[in-house]
Copies of this chain bind each other. A is one copy, B any other.
Amino acid sequence: MRVGIVGCGLIGNKRAAALGGHSLVAVCDRDSARARALAARVPGAAAVALDEVIEKADAVIVATTNDQLAPVAMRAVDAGKHVLVEKPGARSVAELEPLALLAEKRGVTVRVGYNHRFHPAALRAREILDAGGCGPLMFVRARYGHGGRKGYEREWRADPAVSGGGELIDQGVHLIDLARWYLGDEVADVRGRVVTTYWPMKVDDNAFLTLTTRGGQIAHLHASCTEWKNLFSFEIYGRDAKLHLEGLGGSYGVERLSRYQMRAEMGPPDTLIQEYPFSDTSWALEWGDFAAAVSGTQGRGATLEDAVATLRVVGEAYERCR
């Protein structure tokens, strides 16, 4: 496919480096210098205007700030192009649902960039669960956070008009997406607290949630940008075993998957730990999954329905848990 990228920040650049055999043909960014810098690094890519990116591409990657995700994706879909839009896909359900309707109407493929599904430990956990290795799932428990950085409260993520929310809609949505993905059921009840404790900003910096699925499974989640030491931990509890995903590489520590298999006589479990000290391949794998989805394969990636469901949980949390 010929690929266009809208938004040439950190994530846009990661996407550009993970297109496999597909060709990046056009990029744009509000900051035209960033667009030109990216185009200069990729032979055959041109920095052009948004309309031209959409026109030239078979598939468009939307990697803008949250406020532009849905509007840009709408234009690309309306032009009949396939779209990979970064998480959370939009600032709200109200913004994202029209995109789902239009995508169906235009018959194009849209996926939402919840790349954490494509980390090797996360994929391996999915395989173990699919093979029944943990028995029926009871609950998940997850912690995700970073320590912010000087001036964090003045970044675009701290402006609700641009971001649609704070830590919950930034890192928290990954936890909700993974919880839904692993538990395989919709969230029916949202409880907890979403608060601003540290950063002088109008959005939340900590979300403490207890979600319950229709089938009664629990997701006990905490996302934080006052974590001080970067942390990613996702624990999955089945009737027969526990899986523990930790680390995302870099400052989040080596990625590892621990499997605690209960023995018939109970007591200490069989313990097997796999480490993934390699560079982050999630972007390449997610792109491959997207390309396969365009070709009609189901795949592992988050659909618009997934993203709408996750934003619905976010919306309920913002409404009820302040």
Contacts and interface: CB of A to CB of B under 8 A. Distances in A.
Given A198-B138, A220-B208, A278-B268, A147 B228 contact: no
A261 to B, nearest CB: 8
A271 B275 contact: yes
A150 B269 contact: no
Given A268-B278, A278-B268, A218 B208 contact: yes
Interface stretch (A10-18, A174-182, A235-243): A235-243
Interface stretch (A54-62, A82-90, A94-102, A187-195): A187-195
A277 interface: yes
Contact of A229 (B218, B269, B321): B269
A126 interface: no
Interface in A195-228: 195, 197-198, 206, 208-210, 212, 216, 218, 220, 222, 224, 226-228
Nearest to A219: B208
Tell me the number of copies of this protein.
Answer: 4
A212 B191 CA distance: 13
A141 interface: yes
A226 B139 CA distance: 10
Interface string A267-306: 1110111111110000000000000000000000000000
B267 A149 contact: yes
A148 interface: yes
Chain A contact surface mostly: strand
B141 A266 contact: no
Interface in A151-201: 191-193, 195, 197-198
Contacts of A275: 271-273
A92 to B, nearest CB: 23
Contacts of A262: 147, 228
A278 B193 CA distance: 33
A277 B267 CA distance: 9
A266 B147 CA distance: 7
A143 interface: yes
A206 B192 contact: no
A278 B273 contact: no
B268 A150 contact: no
A141 B278 CA distance: 26
A191 B195 CA distance: 14
Residue of A150, A210, A212, A265 contacting most chain B CB atoms (<10 Å): A210
Contacts of A268: 229-230, 251, 277-278
Contacts of A229: 242, 260, 268-269, 271
Contact of A195 (B147, B218, B241, B267): B218
B192 A192 contact: yes
A147 B269 contact: yes
Given A192-B210, A220-B222, A227-B237, 17 more contacts: A138-B206, A139-B206, A148-B266, A150-B265, A191-B191, A191-B192, A192-B220, A193-B218, A195-B216, A206-B218, A208-B218, A224-B237, A228-B269, A271-B276, A271-B277, A272-B275, A273-B275
